[in-house]
Amino acid sequence: MALLPILEFPDPRLRTVAKPVEKVDDRIRKLAKDMLETMYSAPGIGLAATQVNVHERILVIDVSEDKSDPHVFINPEIEVLDQETQGYEEGCLSVPGFFEEVNRPAHIRINAIGLDGEPYVMEPKGLLAVCVQHEIDHLDGKLFVDYISPIKRQRIRSKLEKQQRKRA
């Protein structure tokens, strides 16, 4: 059991673009397990490796109410299936305490590798589709606050910096 520390905005390490996982081995399986534990403990519905300062393309998600539906996506690739978008009030463990509406494609297909090393395809809907896109953004060094107004983003940045100074 290992809980990993989560980086917080505006930490520049959150802007790192993650590299593909080359081989699904015991190191990656241990990382996925620790990420799931960290996500459940937070608690959150998703976690990208970037948030725990590991810059490889792996993310974990469970949008169930009772921790009954863990998903691990390695080297995920997203295809947008049509033009429809959905708005959702997003939060982020790396931007604690702030929530803002973000619009994203509603219908997507995900190609990824599982913990068994085998490729799989999925067409997530609703919150799962929102979350997958939010997590893939992390792997590309993006945060949900990049989609809101610069004024709001700056306000969030100042408040989090102040909190972080108090803690340090």
130 near ligand GNR, judged by CB under 6 A: yes
90 binds, among Ni ion, ligand GNR, none (CB under 5 to 8 A by kind): ligand GNR
Site residues for ligand GNR, 83-112, by CB under 6 A, read 88, 90-94
Q: Is 135 a catalytic residue?
A: yes
76 neighbors 58 (Cβ within 8 angstroms): no
State yes or no: residue 132 binds ligand GNR (CB under 6 A). no
Binding residues for ligand GNR, total number by CB under 6 A: 17
- Whole-angstrom distance, CA of residue 74 vs CA of residue 71: 10
- Closest among 25, 7, 23 to 15, alpha carbons compared: 7
Q: Which is nearer to ligand GNR, 34 or 135 (CB)?
A: 135
Inter-residue contact 74 to 24 (CB < 8 Å): yes
Q: Do 147 and 102 meet the contact criterion of CB atoms below 8 Å apart?
A: yes
Q: Which of 8, 90, 100, 135 is catalytic?
A: 135
- Spell out, one character per residue from 28 to 67, where the chain touches ligand GNR: x when CB under 6 A holds, - when not: ----------------xxxxx--x----------------
Tokens coding 147 = 């989609």
